[in-house]
Structure formats: structure tokens, C-alpha cells
Amino acid sequence: MPRTNEPRIGIHISIAGGLPNAIKRAEVLGCDCLQIFARNPRGWAARDITQVEIREFRDARERAGLWPLVIHSLYLINLAACDPLLLARSRAVFREELERALDLGADYLVVHPGNCGVTSVNVGIATTVESIRIAARGLKLGGASSDAGSAGRKNGLTILIENTAGQGTSIGCRFEQIAEILAVLDDLPVDVCLDTAHTFTSGYDISTEAGLRSTIRAIDRTFGFDRIKVLHCNDSKVPFGSRVDRHQHIGLGHIGEEAFSRLTHNLKFRRVPFILETPVDKERDESWNVNKLRELSGKPGKSVD
């Protein structure tokens, strides 16, 4: 698969009916890449996956040429928890997520940095760093290839810290906090997943041309664009700076169509895979959002057999 200047566009896909079905759904939607949950995202327990299902999933993904494969960690994990029981459980389950991501041949595993609760942000960051080290101990992780031409042939799994909207006591809503986590974990394959809705509602106004320029400068002086491996592409149901996480269909929220057109045409962002996490309702589904982002990016639609 040749590398092009076109953005790679995909979406978060359901694994209902088994992991290999996610690949089929991604192909029907004409995706270049995809994100999945590798387990129930809202419960601690996970069903076992057989070696047969793993092999079928990996083979289907290889045939489809989808790159990257991103796995999103379950929502209950809190790597910065101040409660000892929750922290221990979060670390154990994040370890399971890492192991499952390796089994499935994922390129990236996305995780939120966590909520610090009654402790300070600094303590929360230190706890998150320690949690990642404990969970990754002894595992053979490694940086995923940044070249779409290697689709299906990676050299390891990278952990991606996702920026947050800043709701409650969550850490990671300021780029400086993400940069601090990365700096302390510079010996591990840890990079960034940037979410557009979280970026906007946490106080970086990407909805305007001037605001996008300001956000680009903020990225350059903190963790830098080289550390952004995936862009979660979501509009926002809530206004700028509201510090609330509510995703909206592309172009129909407070960020708007023009902003996503600018974003997908900006050379700094265009090289990063765009993965949608948009809602599904009676009027609009996954296909609507994938096609809308393709339209705004100037990327032609895919023909699917």
C-alpha cells in the first residue's frame, strides 16, 4: 500500500458478534484504519478470546490492509486513583489490556491519564506514571511504524495518552500535563492521542483559524507534533471551555464544518490517522460521519466490493 498525502480516516467499530466482525464493518464503511474496544468497556470482567478468534481477527485485518489498529482501554480504569483498591484494580486491568492488545497485533492502546480525586494534579501525574510502569513491566512493547505503507506489519505496541476535557478532577486537559507524563516515561513507547472535542472544551479553541494557530503553537511548545500518533476526530455538543465531554456529529457541533476542513487540510495534522468516535442516532450513523469527514478533507470516497 503506497504512502500518500491523503489523511487516513477510520472510526470506532463495534466488536459485537466477535472481533473479526469489526474488520468486516470497517471494510463496509470504507475505512483506512479502525479503533475497537477489545472487551466490554463498561465492566471489569472480560470474556476470554480463543487463539482461533485472535488468528481470524489478525488474518482479516491483514487482508483488509487496515492501519493503524487502535484499541481503546475500558472506561473504568483510573491510573491516577487515590483509592488503593481502585488503583490496584485499574493497574491489573490495564495490564490485561496491554496483553490483549499485543495478542491482537494492535499498533496503539489508548488510555485516559485518570482522575486524581482529592489529591493534587502533581500527585495524580506521578501515580499515572507509576501505574503505566507497573502495568507494562516485562512486556515487549515497541513503537509502531508511522508509515501507512507497512499496513499490517508493525514493530510493536505503543501506549497513547489521550488528552481529556477536564471534567471533574481528570488530569491531562492541559498539554503541559501530557508533556510531563511523556517526559518521565521517555524510556517506554508512550505517545499521544489528541481528541478534538476534548481539546476544544478544555480551552483550546480549534473552531477558529486563529484558535487553531494558537493550539498548534501550544502543541509545538509542549509535547510536539511528532508525539501525536492518532487524532480522535469528534465535534462537540457543548461550548468552548465547558470542560465537559460530549461528542457530536462532524460539523453539527460547536467546532463546526469549517474547523474540520481546516484541520484535515493542515499538513501537521493531515499525516495523523483520523478516527471518529461520533454518536449514532436515527438521522446519522457511522457511514454519515465517515463520508462527511472525507468530504471535508477532500478525500475521495472508497468503493467497496
Is 226 known to be catalytic? no
Mean pLDDT confidence for 263-281: 96
Is 254 known to be catalytic? no
pLDDT given at position 2: 38
Instruction: Please identify which of the residues 27, 245, 254, 294 carries the catalytic annotation.
Output: 245
pLDDT in tens, 30-48: 999 999 999 988 899 999 9
- Of the two residues 301 and 30, the one the predictor is more confident about is 30
pLDDT given at position 7: 92
Is 72 known to be catalytic? yes
Instruction: Please identify which of the residues 59, 75, 213, 220 carries the catalytic annotation.
Output: 75
Record: fold of 14-297: TIM Barrel (3.20.20)
Give domain limits for the chain: 14-297
Is 112 known to be catalytic? yes
pLDDT given at position 299: 83
pLDDT given at position 155: 56
pLDDT given at position 27: 98
Instruction: Please identify which of the residues 112, 174, 262, 294 carries the catalytic annotation.
Output: 112
The yes-or-no verdict on residue 228 having pLDDT over 50 is yes
Is 180 known to be catalytic? no
pLDDT in tens, 116-152: 999 999 999 999 999 999 999 999 998 654 444 444 4
Instruction: Please identify which of the residues 195, 235, 254, 286 carries the catalytic annotation.
Output: 195
Is 277 known to be catalytic? yes
Instruction: Please identify which of the residues 8, 12, 25, 247 carries the catalytic annotation.
Output: 247
DSSP secondary structure string, 94-116? HHHHHHHHHHHT-SEEEE---B-
Is 265 known to be catalytic? no
**Structure pTM?**
0.94
pLDDT in tens, 50-109: 999 999 999 999 999 999 999 999 999 999 999 999 999 999 999 999 999 999 999 999
pLDDT given at position 271: 92
Is 42 known to be catalytic? yes
Is 12 known to be catalytic? no
